[in-house]
Structure 1
Amino acid sequence: MVGRKLIVGPIVIASLALVVVETASTASAQNVDLPRFDPSAAGDRFFGVPSPYAAGEVTPHGGIVLDYAHNPLVLASADGESAGAVVEHQMFLHANLTLSIVDRVLINVDMPFALVNMGDGVVASNDLAFVSPDGGGFGDLRAGLRVRLHGEYADPFQIGLGGYVWFPTGTDGDYITNASVRGQPQVLLGGLAGRFLWTVMVGATLKSVDSLDDQVSLGHQFVWGAGVGCLLGGARNVQIGVESSGAMTLQDPSKENTNIEALAGIKWRIVRFLEVGGGAGPGFTSGIGTPDVRSVFSLMYTPDVDERPPYVPPKPLDRDKDKIMDDVDACPDERGIAHNDPQKHGCPIRDRDHDGFADDLDACPDEAGVASTDKVKHGCPLRDRDDDMIADDVDTCPDLAGLASEDPKQHGCPADSDGDGFADDVDACPREKGVDDPAPSKRGCPRAVRVTETEIVILEQVQFDTGKATIKSASKALLDAVAQVLDEHPEIELVEIQGHTDNRAAKALNQKLSERRAQSVADALMQRGIERARLVARGYGLDKPVGDNATEEGREKNRRVQFVVLKKGETKKR
């Protein structure tokens, strides 16, 4: 059997050895047009079944097709046992060019090149012997013509007439060509309906009547093909489909000269002018040239001629007529407005308290309020429990009527004239900076220095080294406090710093010591930033005692420094 298998009846011979010798001596390759796959014209919808249209007006199409067939010609004995593959692997590269003219006429040229064409060598069975091809070669040049008779390019029903003519350019003796001119007229039907496409071809191959080693007739053939497919994707740029083709010899038809096979494949239009495809399928008969499996690959330049219209999705619904489609409208049954938040997009602005602030931004959606830069207060009413016209949310003393202040800690609180943090109404010394004290009579009063109308009273004495005008370090904090008071009371324009002593030394000595001590204090205050013009230092020696010099306690009171206010101007705060 040759074909995929050609079964040959037994022939009586003198001896098996004689048959083998004779077989080997008569083994030869054949001029047989074994290839059964004819690629469609570039631009057609299927791999091997031609379409009835012409794709475009003066539009070129072209590319390559790889076609591989496995076991297209196998020799077997009468009992069906395989004797070997005459042709086991056959692969062609087709250069395929098409020109569509005036949207109705198409011409095509296809040139096949055998890249792989080989078998098992010398294959013999009974009295038959065949030599396998070894290597590549040329196939028969094919020219084609097609005319569209009915239907436009993308119509669901089209009719066309076409045909191929093969010229014997193939390599002799390699099971590629029958070394003669042959032709194939065709009637073509097909169409495109939405995403569904289809094609049917019927025709006849007319060629010289010959046979394979006088065993199988290989003359004129009746040929047919059909394909169906579907376009996928929003742009309809992916096609899946199945197709089948076949041929039956008209003289002495048999299973050895009947071919039927199928392909399932996919084509993907990568861009509008470039398409790549691939497919594979089985052979269903044992006819000569029918492989047990065939695979194809194509890469085509084929401009899209609008047979795939741009995908237009169904128009979305808009039930509430707000021009925001239901599929993105968070409130499809309420007219609304656009919003960046998908959960609010298409929803109406809701304002339950009618204060002009949308509920989704209103921190108090059920109470009319005012704007605020603080999100947690925006849209909330101003609350002012102490009626001081300062909203409770910024009023440091929301239950005490107060005054506005740039200091957030004092804003809305009663006045604090001396700025010590104690409001005047609870400050026992409202004109002097002080400290806290559990006794209300001392709260807000200084502990070291107090100010009266006539004097800056120090509550502890400046300490000097005995018999000297040197101020002890223990008194530095006291003088800091005196300097601060003078700085905070610029209305005190002139202060007399008085030095006083007890009577334990000579009067002249005490006078000098009191003057020097008064000057030391003045110098210390100037070092702390007090202007010289505001200070005058005077020593009074033992002339102005305030205690009894006869007692130690009295003498301690007399050893003192006093700060007497000599001149005051208009009261002002620095």
Structure 2
Amino acid sequence: MRLWPLRSLAAALAALVVVPLLPAPAHGQDAPVNPGGMALSRFVPAPAGDRMFSVPSPFVAGHLTPHVMLLADYASNPLVLRRERDGAEIGAVVSDQLTFHLGASLPLWNKLSVDLDAPLTALQSGDSPSGGGQQFPSPSGAALGDVRLGARLQLHGAYHDPFQLAVGAYVWLPTGADDSFVSDGSVRAMPYVAAGGRMDRLVWSTALGTEVRRSQSFGGVAQGTMLTLGGGVGFLAMDGRLQVGPELSAAMVLEDISSRSTNAELLLDARYRFLPFMEAGIGVGPGITSGIGTPDVRAVAMAAFTPEQPTDQDRDGIGDLEDACPSVPGVRSGDPKKNGCPPPPDRDADGIVDAEDACPAVAGVRSDDPKKNGCPPPPDRDADGIVDAEDACPAVAGVRSDDPKKNGCPPDRDDDGVADAEDACPDVKGVRSKDPAKNGCPRDTDGDTFRDDVDACPREKGFADPDPEKNGCPKAVRVTEKHVVILQQVQFDTDKATIKPVSDPLLDEVAEVLKEHPEIVLIEIQGHTDNRGTVEHNRILSQNRANSVMAALVRRGIDSTRLTAQGYGREQPIDDNATEAGRQRNRRVQFNIIKKAAYKPQADETGEDR
């Protein structure tokens, strides 16, 4: 079946002839007529929901808003043989081609759109002409075309903006019959860039792309990768429901740019939205070059489910139908009365509107107290949640306490001023020390490794003893308030003042104790005897023995100014001279403290007092 009125219109427009494919018989070609099939049509439908028939639009029309379109495309004489020497028509290989396209698209996130086009060529016919010694059989019957998949990414602008920009791509799968004129029999692809926009009474779209397809030849004319371009303008009327305007599309084979491999078509079309979600359109126009696939005339018709995108005067992304302030850009709101309206003023951008902000010019935080709402929080240097004004330790993170002196300070169970986290003895009050193993523990005043809290003699170096009353005490020397008590006797040669070597350790310990007690300013070394011998002899003997002990201590580093020696003979017995045991006790050296100064603790190895 032929559409004769359309063919007549094409002839009248005088831009009709498609391709002089075969040369004169003297220049006959040996190549096969249609090796591997060929996708003849140069009409590439725009995705469903776009503004033009053949030029893709650069917008993405609403998140998850489906668009479905049925489009019919009729081409008259898209493939005609002419004699090269005089241009006379030999016959049409394809005189009529009618294809139905089922298209669908789905926008995502107002940025990305995916689309599908499934073509079915319902009618193909021709004259099966011959020339140059070859027969050119014409197709007949229906044939499935190549299914097209596409995607488009919007780079700039929105649906109603005057300038929009996008990039996209099509991929054709070889689903069509490769023995007809509906498929190349291989995958094709076309990346493209599109620009366009919408104004009050006009829409426009342009596109530039490259259709990458396999190289082949038909009747000596090269076919293959093509540069494609298109543009269209639509004039709007009837509140935008009616669109009328021209579209121009063109393609040229890059392998052999000539009139027979260049295609251009003009289409004058109109579309009308008769329901908010339905529109229909028609278009007709001539081919204006002689390239393969360019018809004398092309006619298209379509019907589409494509929900109308609401206008957005203020371009805030909220359609006018939902926008409570359609002429002023605003923000979304769950309150219909505020949706699309500008937010209340918030000069300090702290999320608290000026009307509720007690400090509208200074960024702050929310507070249940209207007088503090929106004001900066009180300073809290250690960020422990306790403001400096209430924090007893404002520079150290701590915990709350009912005691104002401890509020905001680190936990300290023994109240010794050393936080539990640093306290080696958290349950026993102690002192600070640079040694982590001793920090917060009681002092060891005498440095004998026994802490004062377990040292029965905290000011004299001593030794371990299971008896708590002796633990940490010296074995031979004790210091009392008025005496330096020796638990052993200083031994002398009989009736002499010579100290036996066996008493050297005892005197060493006495000297060490005196060094540890600098507050003992003056000590008297007393010599005593039993009652045997004369009074004068015993006085002299005791004085000499006291002198010997004093000299022994001086040799051990004790300042002589701290010492005095006095012999008392037998005048001050401490036991009964009638027995040997009593006389033994009476023969003694005794250390009496004469003068003491205030005690000043010495510094231990950590640098702390002890």
When normalised by structure 1's length, the TM-score is 0.50
- Identify the residue that residue 58 of structure 1 maps to in structure 2: 64
Letter matched to residue 265 of structure 2 = E
Count of residues in correspondence between the two structures: 300
Residue 9 of structure 2 is aligned to residue 9 of structure 1: no
Query: Does the 8 Å CA contact 1:66/1:92 hold for their aligned counterparts?
Result: yes
Query: Counterpart of 2:254?
Result: 250
2:200 equivalent to 1:171: no
Aligned to 1:339: none
Q: Quick one: which amino acid aligns to residue 108 of structure 1? A: D
Deviation at 1:308, TM superposition (A): 8.4
User: Structure 1's 251 and 29: CA in aligned 2 closer, same or farther, altered over 3 A?
Assistant: closer
* Contact 2:21–2:221 (Cα < 8 Å) also in 1: no
Compared CA separation, residues 40 and 7, structure 1 to 2 (3 A):
closer
Q: Aligned equivalents of 1:70 and 1:10: distance in 2?
A: 25
Structure 1 residue ranges without an equivalent (≥5): 14-18, 313-574
Shift of 1:307: 4.7
Is 1:84 matched up with 2:91? yes
Deviations 1:133-152 (A, max 9, x none): 01110010000000000011
Equivalence for 2:197: 191
Question: Per-residue displacement from partner, 1:409-434 (whole Å, max 9, x unpaired)?
Answer: xxxxxxxxxxxxxxxxxxxxxxxxxx
Supply the distance in 2 between the matched residues of 1:127 and 1:256 (Cα, whole angstroms).
21
TM-superposition CA deviations, 1:219-247 (whole Å, max 9, x none)? 111000000011101x3211111101010
CA–CA distance in structure 1, aligned partners of residues 38 and 310 of structure 2: 41
Q: Pick closer, same or farther for the CA change 1:305–1:12 going to 2, 3 Å.
A: closer
1:191–1:197 CA contact under 8 A, matched in 2: yes
Residue in structure 2 matching 1:114, options 110, 116, 121: 121
Residue in 2 that maps onto 1:135: 141
SS in structure 2 of the partner of residue 207 of structure 1: coil
- Using the TM superposition, give the Cα deviation of residue 10 of structure 1 relative to its aligned residue in structure 2, in angstroms: 3.3
Q: 1: distance between equivalents of 2:131 and 2:144?
A: 29
Instruction: Please point out which of 32, 46, 52 is paired with 2:52.
Output: 46
The structure-2 alpha-carbon separation of the partners of 1:26 and 1:265, relative to structure 1 and needing over 3 Å to count, comes to closer
Displacement, 1:305? 1.0
CA contact (8 A) 1:28 1:131 kept: no
Distance 1:46 1:263 in 2: 10
In the alignment, the residues of structure 2 paired with residue 269 and residue 303 of structure 1 have an alpha-carbon distance, to the nearest angstrom, of 10
What is the root-mean-square deviation in Å for CA atoms of aligned residues? Answer: 2.4
Whether 1:74 aligns to 2:88 is no
Which residue type is aligned with residue 243 of structure 2?
Q
TM-score w.r.t. the length of structure 2 is: 0.47
- 1:211, 1:28 → 2: CA distance? 8
Over 3 Å counting, the alpha-carbon distance change for 1:26 and 1:162 in structure 2 is: closer
2:104 matched to 1:97?
A: yes
**Pairing of 1:210-289 with structure 2 (within 5 A):** 210-213=216-219, 215-233=220-238, 235-289=239-293
Secondary structure at the counterpart of residue 203 of structure 1: strand
Partner of 1:202: 208
Q: Where does structure 2 lack aligned partners over 5 or more consecutive residues?
A: 1-15, 314-318, 322-610
Identity over aligned pairs, percent: 39
Distance 1:282 1:28 in 2: 26
SS in 1 for 2:69: strand
Whole-Å separation in 1 of the counterparts to 2:168 and 2:33: 40
Q: Do 1:29 and 1:175's aligned partners in 2 also have CA atoms closer than 8 Å?
A: no
Provide Cα deviations, 1:427-474, integer angstroms capped at 9, x if missing partner.
xxxxxxxxxxxxxxxxxxxxxxxxxxxxxxxxxxxxxxxxxxxxxxxx
SS of the aligned residue for 1:256 comes to helix
Alpha-carbon distance between aligned partners in 2 of 1:311 and 1:53, rounded to the nearest angstrom:
18
Contact 2:21 2:218 in 1 (8 A): no
Preserved contact between residue 44 and residue 54 of structure 2 (Cα < 8 Å) = yes
Give the drift of 1:9: 3.2
Partner AA of 2:141 in structure 1 = G
Equivalences for residues 26-45 of structure 1 within 5 A: 31-45=37-51
What's the offset of the Cα at 1:128? Answer: 3.6
Change (3 A) 1:311 1:263: farther
Equivalent residue, structure 1, for 2:159: 153
1:518-557 alignment runs, 5 A limit: none
